[in-house]
Amino acid sequence: MALRELTDILGPENIDAEALTCFPNNVDEIIRIVKTTRRLGVKVRAVSTGRNWGYHTFFPKDKDCWTLNLSRMNRIIDFDRELGVVTIEPGVTQQDLKTFIDNNNLPFIVPTTGAGPTCSIMGNILERGYGVTQYFDSFASCMSLEAILPDGNYYRSPLLALGGHRIGRIYKWGVGPYVDGIFSQSHHGICISMNVALKRRTSGIMAVFFETDRAPATLINPIVNILHVMGGLLGPIKITNHHRLLAILDQAPELRSETPLEKSLRAQEFFLANGIPHWQGFFAAYTDDILLRSVQQLVENALKTSVRRLYCRIDNQEPAAARERLFLDLVTGTPNHRALPLTYFRAPKLPGPDDPFSPEKDGAGILWYAPLIPATQECVELYLDFATNITTRFGFEPAITFTSLSDRCFDSVLPILFNGHDANQAEKARACYRALFHEGQQQGIIPYRVPECFRDLIIKSNREVVFGQNLCHPPRA
């Protein structure tokens, strides 16, 4: 019945019955779909472009759940050049916005992420993701939004609803309780438009790279000091280990069969022979070009005793190697596919040179464990110890990256890479994720987002906290 009624709304050309996916073209169609499926008791979910490379996981969704793919709603509705706010639909990708900015000669930077040119900007924001540019906290750049609620009613951020059409696009918190946040990492509505603040391009942009073979915990204090002094001028500081670098660079396809690399003698020999450091760091500084040399000196003074090599590349001023150029492109707002080979490290096949990246189709299984970690040496060492031990025990690589979210908090992204067409590997990946979650929980280290197939982990935890003994039986005076 749902298929017939959805076909009546959208037409057969906008329905993929086998995949239980429909492609609405406008808001009116979304409202009709929501009301119809609600009346029929059919579950629906919405995706922006469907290319989130695993944060939502590639495990099969409920068979009775229809997917609303919003990729055809890809208009850039408006741009306020004076205030630097763009109004977009969910299907607008990083490349769409880059093309718009270039065609209109606008002095702004696209909020790029490792997900690549074909991924939705709004999707990353609603997942509270982050990127590599100065406005790296994606949801912080969301000033206001419009959404369709589960009953088909319309939601606007408060200032927009009160008639503040311009102020509602530049002031995030509105008036009264902050409600916009319930649409992030949730199924409380389908976001149909969003006002996103963009960073103006500064006259000087510098990429900083450093390498070390020492334990990353020794870098924490220098990095925190850099953030204390220059935090407002920097994008996030990232530290990546050699397992992650090898998977991204895809320099040694013969090592794809070595599982795990942590115990592979050939892998260790490869790292040594090719000069791949145990850990590499990188970040970008944004300021007036006159000040860049001063920033470079401050960074060098802070890190020189903790790293074996440190070098800087100023955009459009100094020649850069291909890998450095790719990072410079990202931090200056040009999306690329640099990070996507990571998802194929254990895939049964690689895409051809002219084939699009399609991890789900190609069996590139990936689960992301993304815990929050206090920015202290003790906590970083604790996390590295259990994360390395658990992933290695299950036969996966501890391909770890740290990202500074502030001078107080880091996030780590640990991808569990597996053959998505192998049911045994997929089950082992699930077990590995649960082991990481439970051990981290014991140590007070919790992910900032959880794949959909593991929602039971946080729902159970939240029930224990909100409705459990601590609330029902408060301590006596």
Helices (H) and strands (E) in the chain, counts: 15, 19
Q: How high is the pLDDT of residue 54?
A: 61
Structural contact between residues 314 and 294, judged by C-beta atoms closer than 8 angstroms: no
CATH class of the domain at 204-460: alpha beta
Decide if 104 contacts 98 (C-beta within 8 A).
no
pLDDT digits (tens, 9 = 90+) for 379-411: 999 999 999 999 999 999 899 999 999 999 999
How far from 334 is each of 98, 117, 207, 263, 295, CA to CA, in Å? 7, 8, 14, 37, 23
Backbone dihedral angles phi then psi of residue 125, each to the nearest 5 degrees: -65, -45
Taking CA atoms, 124 is separated from 1, 196, 468, in Å, by 33, 12, 33
In the sheet with 142-148, reading across from the earlier edge strand, the strands are 76-80, 85-88, 190-197, 142-148, 154-156
Q: Which residue has the tokens 């592979």?
A: 264
Give yes or no for a contact between 398 and 388, defined as CB atoms under 8 angstroms apart. yes
Alpha-carbon distance of 330 to 336, in angstroms, equals 7
| Domain residue spans of the chain | 2-69, 76-200, 204-460
Q: How many CA atoms lie within 13 A of 19 on its CB side?
A: 12
Classify domain 76-200 at the CATH topology level: 3.30.465
Give the DSSP letter of residue 234: B
What order of strands is seen across the sheet that includes strand 65-69?
A: 15-16, 21-22, 65-69, 43-47
Which residues, including other chains, have CB under 8 Å from residue 173's CB and lie 6 or more apart? Answer: none
> Given this model, what pLDDT does residue 470 score?
36
Is the bond preceding 260 in cis, omega lying within 30 degrees of 0? yes
Question: In this predicted structure, what is the pLDDT of residue 444?
Answer: 95
Which stretches of the chain score pLDDT less than 70?
1, 52-64, 249-267, 460-477
Query: How crowded is residue 250: how many other Cβ atoms within 10 Å of its Cβ?
Result: 15
Cα–Cα distance measured from residue 400 to residue 213, given in angstroms and rounded to the nearest whole number: 15
- What is the pLDDT, as a whole number, of residue 266? 65
Residue 326: Cβ-neighbour burial (10 angstroms; 0-12, 13-18, 19+): middle
Q: pTM of the prediction?
A: 0.91
Is 2-69 CATH 3.30.43.10? Answer: yes
Rg for the chain (alpha carbons), in Å?
23
d(CA 171, CA 166): 9
Burial class (CB in 10 A: 0-12, 13-18, 19+), 237: buried
pLDDT tens digits, 408-447: 999 999 999 998 889 999 999 999 999 999 999 999 999 9
With beta carbons less than 8 A apart as the criterion, state whether 417 and 396 touch.
yes
Q: What is the distance, to the nearest Å, from the Cα of residue 206 to the centroid of all Cα atoms in its chain?
A: 23
- CA 154, CA 167: separation in Å to the nearest integer? 20
Q: Which two tokens stand for residue 245?
A: 């670098």
Q: Which two tokens stand for residue 120?
A: 């939705």
The reported pLDDT for the residue numbered 248 is 75
Instruction: Give the total residue count for the chain.
Output: 477
The amino acid occupying position 148 is I
**Cα 454 to Cα 357: distance, rounded to the nearest angstrom:** 25
